[in-house]
């Protein structure tokens, strides 16, 4: 067990003994836990702390930024001074995502088209 896990368990035990968990909202109901099975066991605690603090893994942060840049490109015109900088940044992010093994079809609307076809029965 890692040091942080031991520290957390110690604090939970003390809180339980002091009655700090008595009469909490949701007591007796099952917890809704995130699926962290894809994260190596030794990194789960660190990832959970980062997630609770609002941070994303680098690949997901890049994916989020790529989606935002793609939407921005759809709004800008080609003669806009920002267009080329945004387009270059998006291409860099696409390469980085592909190197990380992520599929970038979400940027090209292929999923949207496939879903539409599926709903139409095609």
70-107 pLDDT, tens digit each:
989 888 889 999 999 999 999 999 999 999 888 888 78
Tell me what pLDDT residue 1 has: 58
More confident residue, 48 or 88: 88
Q: What's the pLDDT at 90? A: 93
pLDDT at residue 54, rounded to an integer: 86
- Coil vs helix vs strand at 32: coil
The DSSP result for 45-108, as a single string, is HHHHHHHHTT---HHHHHHHHHHHHHHHHHHS-TTSTTHHHHHHHHHHHHHHHHHTT---GGGT
Give the rounded percent of residues in the chain with a pLDDT score beyond 70: 93
CB neighbour class for 115 (10 Å; exposed up to 12, middle 13-18, buried from 19): exposed
More confident site: 114 or 19: 19
Q: For residue 44, is pLDDT > 80?
A: yes
pLDDT reading at 21 higher than 70: yes
Say if residue 113's pLDDT is above 70.
no
3-state secondary structure of 2: coil
What's the mean pLDDT in 33-43? 81
């Amino acid at each position: 067990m890692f040091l942080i896990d031991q520290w957390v368990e110690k604090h939970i035990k003390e809180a339980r003994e002091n009655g700090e968990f008595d009469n909490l909202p949701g007591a007796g109901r099952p917890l809704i836990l995130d699926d962290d099975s894809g994260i190596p066991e030794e990194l789960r605690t660190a990832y959970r702390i980062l997630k609770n603090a609002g941070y994303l893994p680098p690949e997901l942060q890049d994916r989020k930024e790529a989606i935002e840049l793609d939407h921005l490109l759809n709004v800008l015109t080609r003669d806009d001074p920002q267009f080329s900088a945004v387009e270059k940044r998006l291409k860099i992010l696409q390469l980085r995502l592909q190197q990380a093994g992520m599929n970038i079809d979400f940027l090209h609307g292929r999923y949207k088209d496939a879903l539409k076809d599926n709903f139409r029965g095609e």
